[in-house]
Amino acid sequence: MKYVYMLQSKVNPSRYYVGSTRDLKKRFNAHNAGHSEHTRKYLPWELRGYVAFSEPAKADKFEAYLKTGSGRAFAKRHF
């Protein structure tokens, strides 16, 4: 399975991060441990939601969509 997930900063709730991984728990812990250059600045993070895909290509397309303007609006409404 490949997971597409959305994080929200607890210190700056207007900050969101969208990513994908095969090991969601490990990746979430890495974000909160400061191992990601892109998310380190807004620690700590909370997991707003995720979607699991059996086909990695579909996960990649959904992640790319969530990073567009309409995708961000969709994620904020549904996550």
Domains parsed from the chain with CATH numbers: 2-78 (3.40.1440)
Report, as an integer, the average pLDDT of 22-46.
97
Return the half-sphere exposure (C-beta side, CA atoms, 13 A cut-off) of residue 48: 22
Q: What is the pTM of this model?
A: 0.93
- The model's confidence at residue 70, banded by pLDDT at 50, 70 and 90, is very high
* Cα 59 from Cα 52, distance rounded (Å): 8
